[in-house]
């Protein structure tokens, strides 16, 4: 409490004492008055200033009540224990009100803090939306003026889905060049001593181009080292005296993922004059971001393949990884008593299909499993001809596992494969589940339970 708060308490209680003496002398200490006017101070200061004020006002009310009563009523009343209930209530209620007010203010303070955080996040999202709107606007203008751009973007989206790095680099170069209508372009990859030519397009045999560049040599080197798009216009201003190797019209960095390090630079050597505008530079930036995300995914896939944990044919985890991860999750569940569920997927009628039809069907089933399970879950291959897939539902209870099981079956049923292709008319799937309990001795036991559940399913 501040000094002025103490003064307010003193003033209020002096006023109450004066009113008692001057206007109600027949009720010393307001004994017999219900409700007691001393509640004014308790409620006023408890609600206004919190715990300390509530305590102070409660003590002041109790003290003044007892003191005034001592001076004005019969002393025998003090021998009755019930006489002290009211002054005790002054103190207790004052403290309780103060505590309640303090907690309420803490809640308000926390809510204000959360509000500030949300406002900052909202501002960030608004900036992000503005940026994406600007990029989208540039793309829409090109789509409206040239329908060919739509076809180019569609083809680019397909080509940038490649997971082989060498193929992806060629696809990126072809896609960006076609979208910008560039007649010649190249990709340089980062090496220890600078940049080395990886792919080129539109280069003539008689033209001389550098196959390697120093870290900051030319527009290509500057774009990669500076981690930004650089154009020839940046070096033709009246105040620009720096000599620069004109190896490109514009160049920009490609990252290993959206926020990864710079791993390559895409440089445009020749582009029609009317196409070289600020709109083209903005579009170039968008295409580089797209390429970076694709390259990041490809590098992740390469890492997974190197660790033998990814099945690139069906875009699911390998059985080896499934076994390792299942063991780790079982230990974690056993240690911390966390829920864990396992599922096995049997495809009925799989043995009646040709090799091509079987592969096509398994690709469909794998996609259904990925879309039905959560992002944290593990969908993987399973080494059984009739049970091609298995999945781990991380921290999923029996109820949650049953919901995901139902979702898988419903999503597969919605495809109505038999209506579109008579080859799949007799195809159906079953899903067997098992759930972790403290009585499960090991992960193999969960696997057996899932197999038993699969065989028990009609």
Question: Per-residue pLDDT averaged across 162-183, rounded?
Answer: 85
Mean pLDDT of 338-349: 96
Least confidently predicted of 23-37, 248-262, 265-279:
23-37
Strand partners, 340: 394
Q: Is the pLDDT of residue 28 over 50?
A: yes
At 376-407, the pLDDT tens digits run 999 999 999 899 999 999 999 999 999 999 99
pLDDT tens, position by position, 133-149: 888 877 776 655 554 55
pLDDT of residue 305: 65
**Torsion (CA) 322, 323, 329, 332 in degrees, nearest 10:** -160
Q: Which DSSP state fits 2? A: -
Q: What's the token pair of residue 451? A: 């197999």
Specify the pLDDT at position 295: 86
pLDDT winner (highest mean) among 54-63, 186-195, 293-302, 429-438: 429-438
Q: How far is CA 177 from the centre of its chain?
A: 34
94 alpha carbon, distance to own chain's centre = 46
Torsion of CA 338, 339, 340, 341, to 10 degrees: 170
CA distance 424 to 281: 49
Is 310-456 CATH 3.30.70.270?
yes
By the 8 A CB rule, do 380 and 362 touch?
A: no
Question: Is residue 227 packed enough to be buried (19+ CB in 10 Å), middle (13-18) or exposed (0-12)?
Answer: exposed
Mean pLDDT (whole number) for 281-299: 88
For residue 180, is pLDDT > 80? yes
Indicate if the pLDDT at residue 409 is higher than 90. yes
Residue identified by tokens 């059985």 is 319
What is the model's pLDDT at position 240?
52
Position 414 pLDDT exceeds 90 = yes
Domain boundaries 150-305, CATH class: alpha beta
- Tell me the pTM: 0.42
Q: Tens of pLDDT along 211-236? A: 889 999 888 999 999 999 999 888 76
Closest CA to 244 of 262, 265, 230: 230
User: Per-residue pLDDT averaged across 6-25, rounded?
Assistant: 78
**Per-residue CA distances from 282 to 94, 120, 236, 250, 276 (Å):** 65, 26, 20, 12, 11
Cβ atoms of 263 and 255 within 8 Å: the answer is yes
Give the whole-angstrom CA distance, residue 394 versus residue 233: 54
Tokens of 76: 């025998």
Instruction: Quote the percentage of the chain above a pLDDT of 70.
Output: 90
Mean predicted confidence (pLDDT) in 109-123: 88
Q: Render pLDDT for 317-333 as a digit per residue (tens, 0 to 9).
A: 999 999 999 999 999 99
Q: How high is the mean pLDDT of the chain?
A: 84
Angle (deg, nearest 10), helices 85-145 and 278-306: 110
pLDDT value of position 150: 46
Query: What pLDDT is stored for residue 73 in this prediction?
Result: 77
Contact 28, 69 (CB under 8 A): yes
Give me the mean pLDDT over the 149-170 stretch.
65
> What is the rounded distance in angstroms from the CA atom of residue 121 to the CA atom of residue 261?
25
Choose between 367 and 130: higher pLDDT: 367
If one compares 162 and 100, the residue with the highest pLDDT of the two is 100
Most confident of 33-37, 96-100, 410-414: 410-414
Residue 413 has pLDDT above 80, yes or no: yes
Band (pLDDT 50/70/90 cuts) for residue 90 is: confident
What's the pLDDT score for residue 371? 95
Q: What is the DSSP letter of 279?
A: H
Best mean pLDDT range from 8-22, 213-227, 305-319: 213-227
419-433 pLDDT, tens digit per residue, is: 878 888 889 999 999
Q: What is the DSSP letter of 47?
A: H
> Which is it for strands 250-255 and 310-311: parallel, antiparallel or unpaired?
unpaired
Q: How confident is the model at residue 435 (pLDDT cuts 50, 70, 90)?
A: very high
Sheet of strand 194-201: strand arrangement: 212-213, 194-201, 184-191, 262-270, 250-255, 230-231
C-alpha span between 320 and 72 (Å, rounded): 92
Let me know: does 44 contact 57? Beta carbons within 8 Å. Answer: yes
pLDDT confidence band for 304 (50 / 70 / 90): low
Sheet holding 316-317, edge to edge: 310-311, 316-317, 378-384, 387-394, 340-348, 428-435
* Host H or E run for residue 341: strand 340-348
- Evaluate whether 395 touches 339 at the Cβ level (below 8 Å): yes
- Domain layout of the chain by residue ranges: 3-106, 150-305, 310-456
Distance CA 211, CA 195 (A): 8
- pLDDT mean over 346-364: 92
């Amino acid at each position: 409490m501040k000094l002025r708060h103490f003064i307010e308490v003193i003033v209020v209680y002096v006023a109450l004492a004066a009113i008692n003496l001057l206007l109600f002398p027949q009720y010393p200490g307001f004994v017999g008055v219900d409700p007691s006017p001393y509640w004014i101070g308790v409620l006023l200061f408890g609600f206004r200033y919190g715990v300390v004020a509530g305590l102070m006002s409660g003590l002041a009310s109790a003290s003044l009540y007892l003191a005034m009563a001592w001076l004005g009523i019969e002393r025998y009343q003090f021998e009755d224990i019930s006489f002290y209930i009211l002054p005790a209530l002054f103190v207790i209620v004052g403290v309780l009100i103060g505590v309640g007010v303090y907690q309420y203010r803490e809640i308000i303070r926390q809510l204000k803090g959360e509000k500030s955080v949300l406002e900052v996040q909202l501002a960030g999202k608004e900036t992000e939306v503005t940026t994406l709107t600007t990029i989208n606007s540039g793309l829409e203008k090109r789509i409206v003026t040239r329908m060919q751009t739509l076809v180019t973007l569609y083809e680019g989206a397909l080509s940038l889905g490649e997971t082989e790095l060498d193929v992806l680099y060629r696809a990126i170069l072809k896609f960006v060049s076609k979208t910008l209508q560039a007649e010649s372009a190249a990709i340089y990859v980062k090496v220890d001593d600078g940049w080395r030519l990886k792919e080129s397009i539109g280069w003539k045999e008689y033209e001389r181009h550098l196959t390697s560049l120093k870290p900051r040599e030319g527009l290509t080197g500057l774009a990669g080292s500076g981690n930004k798009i650089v154009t020839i216009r940046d070096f033709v201003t009246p105040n620009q005296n720096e000599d620069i190797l004109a190896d490109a019209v514009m160049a920009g960095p490609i990252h290993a993922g959206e926020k990864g390090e710079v791993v390559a630079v895409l440089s445009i050597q020749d582009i029609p004059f009317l196409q070289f505008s600020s709109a083209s530079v903005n579009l170039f930036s968008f295409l580089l971001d797209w390429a970076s995300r694709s390259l990041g995914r490809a590098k992740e896939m390469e890492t997974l393949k190197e660790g033998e944990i990814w099945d690139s044919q069906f875009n699911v985890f390998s059985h080896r990884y499934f076994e390792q991860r299942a063991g780790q999750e079982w230990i974690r569940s056993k240690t911390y008593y966390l829920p864990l569920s396992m599922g096995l997927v049997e495809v009925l009628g799989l043995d009646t299909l040709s090799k091509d039809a079987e592969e096509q069907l398994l690709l469909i089933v794998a996609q259904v499993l990925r879309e039905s399970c959560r992002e944290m879950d593990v969908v993987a291959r399973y080494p059984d001809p009739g049970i091609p897939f298995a999945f781990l539902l991380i921290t999923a209870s029996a109820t949650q596992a049953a919901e995901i099981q139902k979702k898988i079956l419903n999503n597969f049923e919605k495809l109505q494969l038999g209506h579109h292709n008579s080859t799949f008319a007799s195809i159906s799937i079953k899903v067997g589940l098992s759930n972790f309990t403290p009585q499960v001795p090991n992960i193999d036991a969960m696997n057996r339970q899932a197999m038993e559940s699969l065989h028990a399913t009609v």
